[in-house]
């Protein structure tokens, strides 16, 4: 290929990626070319490959894959031959369901019929054999995309992963296995026999977006076009991102997550308040929407607790302060609660042990407390070690907003030694 043609192709790719991502860093461009070459080798030359795309949510893993597939399917030979199977670890929760979904997506239900197979490997081999062309010399290439790849590693014996990687390593049929996951330690989840059959190709996508690029993307999504009929209205609308308080709000969101989905939620919350009476978004609307989006879910959960459950949380807070974050059990919490009761003349907070235990279990169900890793399941419930999943500031903030919180409970929470 001539130098000029290569330059034109690179420019086209750069524009396509920029259209999908809103920006195109050299890293994304390099990963795009790398993944495209891998899938081309399978789709055109019949070479089997396996690769993992790893990165946090919102980094653009699925977007990268979609962009590569869109470019790949522009070639007629690929369009005609390549078959795709998309599986999701949240939906295909075991290998039997996954195999049924593979059969459905390959349109082989009629071929399988009522056949009984001895093993998963035999069933998969039969499916791939059925895809061979009429001359029986070559098989159609199949692309397997495993979304939430880490969840497939929790299937019994990892049979699906073992067989897919085994086929991709051997010359049985041309297949490409692309795993998409958020877990950086995903290879540690794989069994030795599965890991040995994986090619160990990994694409790590980490967002390199600067705040200036982030702000520009928000501005582009929120701004009205130049040909908007009401020019003056459009000018006023488009100045929103220039406000200092708005930039501060967006900076907070950028620092907590560079995921554009969270920005879309923020902007949609603002846009939903636009009406005929209030036709523009004001900085105060964005501040209010930001407060709702960044609200602490666990602190909000405390507002719905009973007084007993709230008292147990305060007792746990005091235990954390006294023992410097060491784990505690129900008996310790109950003893701390009793100290509070002994200082009071009335007995409105006196509860029986079973009621206290029930409240403690409810806090565990809400995941406000959790068992310490490795704590024995055989230990009696009241002596099982726990950790509090809230910090001091979350508890104090929730107490201030707790509806009609008794004064003595608030004072107990603020006291230094319980």
- Regarding whether 259 and 181 lie in a shared domain, the answer is no
- Regarding whether 143 and 39 lie in a shared domain, the answer is yes
- Regarding whether 275 and 135 lie in a shared domain, the answer is no
184 neighbors 52 (Cβ within 8 angstroms) = no
Q: What is the pLDDT of residue 86?
A: 94
With a pLDDT cut of 70, the percent of the chain lying above it is 87
254, 277, 295: which is the final residue of a domain? 295
* Average pLDDT over every residue of 357-377: 82
The answer, yes or no, to whether residue 8 has pLDDT greater than 80, is no
295, 318, 343: which is the final residue of a domain? 295
Q: What is the pLDDT of residue 152?
A: 92
- Regarding whether 214 and 171 lie in a shared domain, the answer is no
- Regarding whether 339 and 260 lie in a shared domain, the answer is no
Q: Give the CATH number, domain containing residue 95.
A: 3.40.50.300
- Regarding whether 190 and 282 lie in a shared domain, the answer is no
Band (pLDDT 50/70/90 cuts) for residue 143 is very high
* Average pLDDT over every residue of 201-219: 84
- Regarding whether 249 and 164 lie in a shared domain, the answer is no
The verdict on pTM exceeding 0.75 is: no
Task: Using alpha carbons, select from 128, 202, 133, 200 the residue that is nearest to residue 171.
Answer: 128
Q: How many domains does the chain have?
A: 3
**Which range is least confidently modeled, 128-132, 186-190, 240-244, 322-326?**
128-132
* Average pLDDT over every residue of 221-232: 83
**Which range is least confidently modeled, 256-265, 314-323, 333-342?**
256-265
265, 295, 325: which is the final residue of a domain? 295
Q: What is the pLDDT of residue 1?
A: 44
Size of the chain, expressed as the number of residues it contains: 418
Q: 157-167 b/e with 16+ CB inside 10 Å = b?
A: ebbbbbbbbbb
Tens-digit pLDDT profile for residues 16-38: 555 555 555 567 778 888 999 99
Most confident of 78-87, 278-287, 374-383: 78-87
The answer, yes or no, to whether residue 236 has pLDDT greater than 90, is no
* Average pLDDT over every residue of 297-310: 83
- Regarding whether 244 and 192 lie in a shared domain, the answer is no
- Regarding whether 307 and 290 lie in a shared domain, the answer is no
Q: What is the pLDDT of residue 135?
A: 42
- Regarding whether 178 and 64 lie in a shared domain, the answer is yes
Radius of gyration of the chain from Cα atoms? 29
* Average pLDDT over every residue of 238-242: 81
Band (pLDDT 50/70/90 cuts) for residue 192 is very high
The answer, yes or no, to whether residue 136 has pLDDT greater than 50, is no
Question: For residue 85, which phi and psi values (nearest 5 degrees)?
Answer: -125, 120
- Regarding whether 249 and 196 lie in a shared domain, the answer is no
- Regarding whether 229 and 195 lie in a shared domain, the answer is no
Band (pLDDT 50/70/90 cuts) for residue 173 is confident
21 in a domain, yes or no? no
Q: Give the CATH number, domain containing residue 353.
A: 1.10.10.10
Range of the domain at 261: 3-12+209-295
Band (pLDDT 50/70/90 cuts) for residue 79 is confident
* Average pLDDT over every residue of 388-398: 83
Task: Answer with the residue of higher pLDDT: 47 or 25.
Answer: 47
Rounded distance between C-alpha atoms, residue 43 and residue 49, angstroms: 10
The answer, yes or no, to whether residue 384 has pLDDT greater than 70, is yes
């Amino acid at each position: 290929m001539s130098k000029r043609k290569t330059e034109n192709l690179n420019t086209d790719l750069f524009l396509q990626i920029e259209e999908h991502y809103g920006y195109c860093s050299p890293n994304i461009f390099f990963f795009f070319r790398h993944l495209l070459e891998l899938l081309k080798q399978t789709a055109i030359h019949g070479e089997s490959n396996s690769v993992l795309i790893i990165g946090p949510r919102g980094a653009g893993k699925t977007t990268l894959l979609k962009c590569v597939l869109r470019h790949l399917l522009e070639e007629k030979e690929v369009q005609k031959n390549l078959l795709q199977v998309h599986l999701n670890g949240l939906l295909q929760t075991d290998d039997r369901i996954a195999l049924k979904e593979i059969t459905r997506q390959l349109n082989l239900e009629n071929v399988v019929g009522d056949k009984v197979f001895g093993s998963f490997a035999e069933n998969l081999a039969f499916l791939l054999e059925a895809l061979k062309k009429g001359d029986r010399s070559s098989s159609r290439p199949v692309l397997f995309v495993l979304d939430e790849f880490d969840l497939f590693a929790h299937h019994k014996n990892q049979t699906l992963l073992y067989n897919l990687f085994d086929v991709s390593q051997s010359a049985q049929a041309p297949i490409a296995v692309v795993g998409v996951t958020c877990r950086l330690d995903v290879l540690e989840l794989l069994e030795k026999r599965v890991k040995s059959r994986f090619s160990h190709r990994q694409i790590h996508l980490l967002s390199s977006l600067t705040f200036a690029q982030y702000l520009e993307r928000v501005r582009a999504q929120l701004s009205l076009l130049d040909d908007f009929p009401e020019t003056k209205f459009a000018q006023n609308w488009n100045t929103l991102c220039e406000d200092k308080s708005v930039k501060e709000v967006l900076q907070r969101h950028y620092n907590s997550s560079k995921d554009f989905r969270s920005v879309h939620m923020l902007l949609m919350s603002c846009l939903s308040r636009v009406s005929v009476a209030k036709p523009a978004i004001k900085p105060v609307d964005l501040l209010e929407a930001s407060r709702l989006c960044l609200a602490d879910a666990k602190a909000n959960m405390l507002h719905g607790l009973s007084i007993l459950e709230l008292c147990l949380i305060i007792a746990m807070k005091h235990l954390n302060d006294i023992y410097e974050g060491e784990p505690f059990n129900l008996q310790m919490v109950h003893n701390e609660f009793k100290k509070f009761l002994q200082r009071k003349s009335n007995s409105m907070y006196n509860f029986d042990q079973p009621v206290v235990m029930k409240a403690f279990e409810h806090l565990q169900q809400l995941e406000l407390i959790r068992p310490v890793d490795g704590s024995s399941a055989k230990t009696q419930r009241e002596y099982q070690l726990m950790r509090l999943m809230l910090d001091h500031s979350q508890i104090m903030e929730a107490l201030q907003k707790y509806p009609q919180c008794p004064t003595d409970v608030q004072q107990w929470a603020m006291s230094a030694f319980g």
